[in-house]
Amino acid sequence: MLGKRFSKLMLGSVAGVMLMAAAACGGGGGDTTAGQEPTGAASSEAGGGSLKVGLAFDVGGRGDKSFNDAAYAGLEKAKAELGAEIKELSPSADGSNRGDLLRQLADAGYNPIIGVGFAYAEDVKKAAEEYPDIQFAIVDSASNAPNVTGLLFAEEQGSYLAGVAAATKSETGHVGFVGGVESDLIKKFEAGFVAGVKSVKSDAKIDIRYLTPDGDFSGFKAPDKGKVAAEKMYQDGADIVYHAAGDSGLGVFQAAAAAGKKAIGVDSDQRETVKEPELQSVIMTSMLKRVDVSVFEFIKAFQGGAKGGTNVTYDLKVDGVGLSTTGGEIDDIKDKLDAAKKDIVDGKITVPAKP
Peptide bond before residue 112 is cis, with ω within 30 degrees of 0: yes
* Residue-level pLDDT, tens digit, the chain, 355 residues: 333 333 444 433 343 333 333 333 334 456 777 765 443 323 323 334 589 999 999 888 888 777 899 899 999 999 999 999 999 999 998 889 999 999 999 999 999 999 999 999 999 999 999 999 999 999 999 999 999 999 999 999 999 999 999 999 999 999 999 999 999 999 999 999 999 999 999 999 999 999 999 999 999 999 999 999 999 999 999 999 999 999 999 999 999 999 999 999 999 899 999 999 999 999 999 999 999 999 999 999 999 998 889 999 999 999 999 999 999 999 999 999 999 999 999 999 999 999 9
Q: Residue 26 and residue 143: Cα distance in Å, rounded?
A: 10
Cβ–Cβ under 8 Å, residues 192 and 156: yes
Alpha carbon 6 to its chain's center: 11
Q: What is the pLDDT of residue 168?
A: 98
Q: Residue 178 and residue 190: Cα distance in Å, rounded?
A: 8
Short-list 130, 129, 98, CA closest to 114: 98
* Segment 176-222, tens digit of pLDDT: 999 999 999 999 999 999 999 999 999 999 999 999 999 999 999 99
How far is the CA of 65 from the CAs of 6, 59, 61, 244, in angstroms?
Answer: 11, 13, 10, 13
Q: What is the pLDDT of residue 10?
A: 41
Q: Residue 215 and residue 183: Cα distance in Å, rounded?
A: 8
In order, the DSSP letters of 170-209 are -SSSEEEEEEEEESHHHHHHHHHHHHHHHHH-TT-EEEEE
Cβ–Cβ under 8 Å, residues 340 and 349: yes
Short-list 190, 161, 87, CA closest to 315: 161
Q: What is the pLDDT of residue 14?
A: 40
Q: Helices 67-82 and 291-303 sit at what angle, rounded to 10 degrees?
A: 30
Q: Residue 325 and residue 340: Cα distance in Å, rounded?
A: 16
Q: Residue 279 and residue 243: Cα distance in Å, rounded?
A: 14
Q: What is the pLDDT of residue 11?
A: 36
Q: Residue 147 and residue 28: Cα distance in Å, rounded?
A: 10
Strand arrangement, sheet containing 52-56: 30-33, 310-314, 148-153, 136-139, 113-116, 52-56, 85-89
